[in-house]
């Protein structure tokens, strides 16, 4: 059979290959020609179709570790969802409580009166108590209050303690204390600050 296949090439010149008479080609030439077409088709198919699929598959395989990590994180979050919801409720309640400690616009004059009452009840005399311009800071608005009072060391301490005990949040900064008489009277300048939530 192999001898017959070889004999089919005898007397055949590749230079005289006529595609219009392909039906009359010897069987060996036809087989070789069909094999070449088949190899070219497989190579072209791999290059234009399968190669892209292999590249896409490799890209998806590279994503696998990240996807597994995301799955683990999401699985953990789902497993702890109820605890996270409760934590969120607790945070919102705490935030609401803190907001209640911040004065509104209408409460600032009352806050000034409370500070004045604490100072007078402590035996201090006021030289200055006035609001300074507001300062906007990220999520809140700072309301500075300039205070200058006179009194004894213990009266000043009682005043500072009283302001710290107010139900509204008031912080005290930049103390300056200086003597004003030989009998122990002092002058204190202090910057108080209260805060308002910026709901915008």
pLDDT at 155: 93
Q: Enumerate residues 6+ apart whose C-beta is below 8 A from 153.
A: 184, 186
Give the domain ranges of the chain.
1-79, 103-197
User: Band of the pLDDT at 1, cuts 50, 70, 90?
Assistant: very low
Per-residue confidence (pLDDT) for residue 162, from 0 to 100? 93
- 118 token code pair: 């604490």
Mean pLDDT across the stretch 15-25? 63
**pLDDT of res. 23:** 64
CA atoms within 13 A on the CB side of 198: 11
Going by pLDDT thresholds of 50, 70 and 90, the confidence category of residue 188 is: very high
13-17, 56-60, 104-108: which has the minimum mean pLDDT?
13-17
Is 135 within 8 Å of 142 (Cβ atoms)? yes
Q: Once rounded to an integer, what is the mean pLDDT over residues 58-79?
A: 87
Burial of 119 (0-12, 13-18, 19+ CB in 10 A): buried
CB-based contacts of 98, cutoff 8 Å, min separation 6: 169
Residues 23-46 pLDDT 10s: 666 777 777 778 888 888 788 777
What is the chain's mean pLDDT, rounded?
A: 81
Segment 108-165, tens digit of pLDDT: 788 889 999 999 999 999 999 988 888 887 777 888 999 999 999 999 999 999 998 8
Query: 103-197 is classed in which CATH architecture?
Result: 2-Layer Sandwich (3.30)
pLDDT at residue 175 above 80? Answer: yes
The model carries a pTM of: 0.50
């Amino acid at each position: 059979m192999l001898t017959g296949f070889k004999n089919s090439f005898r007397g055949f010149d590749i230079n005289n290959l006529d595609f219009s008479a392909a039906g009359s080609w010897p069987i060996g030439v036809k087989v070789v020609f069909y094999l070449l077409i088949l190899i070219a088709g497989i190579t072209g198919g791999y290059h234009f179709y399968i190669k892209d699929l292999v590249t896409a598959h490799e890209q998806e395989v590279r994503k696998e570790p990240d996807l597994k990590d995301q799955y683990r994180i999401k699985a953990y979050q789902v497993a702890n969802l109820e605890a996270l919801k409760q934590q969120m409720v607790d945070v919102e309640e705490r935030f609401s409580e803190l907001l209640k400690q911040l004065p509104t616009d209408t409460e600032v004059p009352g806050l000034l009166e409370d500070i004045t009452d604490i100072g007078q009840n402590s035996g201090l005399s006021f030289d200055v108590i006035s609001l300074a311009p507001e300062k906007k800071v990220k999520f809140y608005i700072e309301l500075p209050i300039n205070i200058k009072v006179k009194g004894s060391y213990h009266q000043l301490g009682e005043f500072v303690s009283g302001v710290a005990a107010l139900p509204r949040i008031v912080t005290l900064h930049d103390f300056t204390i200086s003597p004003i008489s030989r009998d122990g009277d002092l002058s204190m300048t202090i910057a108080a600050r209260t805060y308002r939530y910026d709901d915008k």
